[in-house]
Amino acid sequence: MFPPLSASALALLSLPGLQLALAQSISLSLPHDAPNEASDYLDPSYAGFGIEPSNLFSFTGGDTPNQFSIQLLQNLADYSGAPAHIRLGGNTQDYMVFEAENTRYAWTSNKESSAQGAIAADSMIIGPNYFTALDRFPTDTPVTFGLNMAYQDDDWETHITALAQGAVDGMKNVKLYSFEIGNEPDLWLQNSFRSGEWTGKTYTEQFLDRCEVVYNNVLKAAGLPSSFFEAPATASTIGTTFEIEQLVDAGMMEGKDGNNFLSMWNQHDYYYFIGVTPTPLTLDDLMDLDSTNVQFKYWEDQVQIALKTGLPYVLREMSSVGPIGMPGVSDTLGASLWTLNFFMYAATIGISSVQMHMTDNSNASAWAPIPMYGHDTSFVRPQYYAHAAVAQIIGNGNGTTQIGPLSTNNVGSAYDGRIRAYSVYANDELQSVVLINAKQANESSDKDSFTFDLDLGSENANEDVYLSYLTADGADSQTGVTWNGMSYDDITGQSSIVDNVVIVTTTDDSGKMSIPVRDSQAIVANIGWQLGVNPVLKPDPTQVRKKSAASPSVRGAGCAVVVGVMISVLALVGSGW
């Protein structure tokens, strides 16, 4: 905990960048109680990762554990109250078959491969140590595991049963959460996994056939429910027969023989995909946050259609740039700001979980688990800092965090599309505000700032508000990023305090305050204490997916910010704006 403040201990410091010209501002009034349009309580595992199955051993380590990856994941678990949700899936899940005789900490090429596909649906062999390696991740990490649906030879039942059984038996420390069956089936005519008539209806029939086999042969004996499967794991259903409404019409929710198999709707997207998106991409394009709303509009409609069926919607594969990122765009502070915004935005439209996809060679992955691209060691990318921010925001509510949208229109032409703000609620009351200024200002550029004039309500009059920064020297910074004064080591993954000055500002008698945010920077303003100083509590499972809180139980995780830092109070109070 921070030491009590005394008059002699207080120093009046300016906020970073306060001396810069305040070019524009916006006035926002925040409801004290969580409004109806706020998200449901966010699961502590909400902001997760996808890992390409063929790359698993790069992240977990082979014969030797990759302690760097493990530590980075443990950091987030300590911040949020539970480990990040991992989706182990992607193109290569549909190349994999399971053989118990393969005891290597590696997948091996199948020299007897005979299945169909541009890359054969049985071309990779994994064994029990695939799951032994996965089990190194933090305890109770929820895992959505992708089963191979592309394989369709006469013995497909034997193969999918063996793989599912391997997953159930092999995950002892992490927690098997759900199964996907098949990755992006809407593309299977292109990659030759299927031929002839291949529609959403045909897919639904084959999906349910495989669900029935896995449930009867594996899940039932393990005491797991029939509704253990996610679908359709599609790339894009625009103009296809794989839209959610079409799959419902095809019988996806009806199951077979009295068993319902679907637990939630699962789709994929990328803001930009090299070789698919027809226009070029710059960092400035990515940082135009309005363009994310435009790109994601179709998916936003799909979310609402999904929720009307009574099942949750999850985005299990997402990223700024696919398939392996873009240097100078997806590995920058600007991309980290984009990531923070996307997590907030996704929560406000009803998405229950988001997995940012990672490969070991992607410039969009939150970290490089092995030396790559001229680096002598593993290293942390700026995107990880956005994950850390979201984890601390969620953990700050101890299972009751909700995100509310705030309108940021009319910010002036210089900031159109660059400004976002979100209200954050804990125990159904206003707790913090997320402020994002995504106007591109590179390391070498002069930097202005944008001022948020906030009305936190009379309930928060004369309250101390603590500011946590997601920042670096500029939008194009690939190193030197910090979140909440913390940096993460490129070898150990451990956090360290590199900026021990905590900025505190105080609301006026009516609960108003003004906060300038430098171009290419984000701030989380938390009422009453610094993010990360309180113990993180593990929520009662009954709180998940509903807005009525149950009493949380103490998790015992450490505080997320080192105590004993210097506190500086800044008396920025509103003045009748």
**Lookup: tokens for 425:** 């609620």
**What is the reported pLDDT for 538?**
74
Per-residue pLDDT of the chain (577 residues; tens, 9 = 90+): 333 333 333 333 344 444 344 449 999 999 999 999 999 999 999 999 999 999 999 999 999 999 999 999 999 999 999 999 999 999 999 999 999 999 999 999 999 999 999 999 999 999 999 999 999 999 999 999 999 999 999 999 999 999 999 999 999 999 999 999 999 999 999 999 999 999 999 999 999 999 999 999 999 999 999 999 999 999 999 999 999 999 999 999 999 999 999 999 999 999 999 999 999 999 999 999 999 999 999 999 999 999 999 999 999 999 999 999 999 999 999 999 999 999 999 999 999 999 999 999 999 999 999 999 999 999 999 999 999 999 999 999 999 999 999 999 999 999 999 999 999 999 999 999 999 999 999 999 999 999 999 999 999 999 999 999 999 999 999 999 999 999 999 999 999 999 999 999 999 999 999 999 999 999 999 999 999 999 998 766 665 544 433 333 332 334 444 333 344 444 333 333 4
**What is the reported pLDDT for 137?**
98
* Virtual torsion, Cα 195, 200, 206, 208, nearest 10 deg: 170
In 99-123, which positions are buried (b, 16+ CB within 10 angstroms) versus exposed (e)? Answer: beebeebebeebeebebbbebbbbb
**What is the reported pLDDT for 541?**
62
Please determine whether the domains at 7-40+400-570 and 47-395 fall in the same fold group of CATH: no
The architecture of the domain spanning 7-40+400-570 is Sandwich (2.60)
Report how far residue 12's alpha carbon sits from residue 564's, in angstroms, rounded to the nearest whole number. 18
Write out the H or E segment, with its range, that includes residue 344.
Answer: helix 333-348
**Lookup: tokens for 2:** 């921070």
Q: Where are the domains of the chain?
A: 7-40+400-570, 47-395
In 233-253, which positions are buried (b, 16+ CB within 10 angstroms) versus exposed (e)? Answer: bbbbbeeebbbbebbbebebb
**Lookup: tokens for 420:** 């976002």
Q: What are phi and psi of 26, to 5 degrees?
A: -145, 145
Report how far residue 460's alpha carbon sits from residue 452's, in angstroms, rounded to the nearest whole number. 17
**What is the reported pLDDT for 540?**
67
**Lookup: tokens for 261:** 């198999």
**Lookup: tokens for 494:** 């451990």
Determine the 3-state secondary structure of 40 from DSSP. Answer: coil
CATH of domain 47-395: 3.20.20.80
| Residue 413 vs residues 92, 434, 538: alpha-carbon distances, Å | 45, 22, 44
**What is the reported pLDDT for 525?**
98
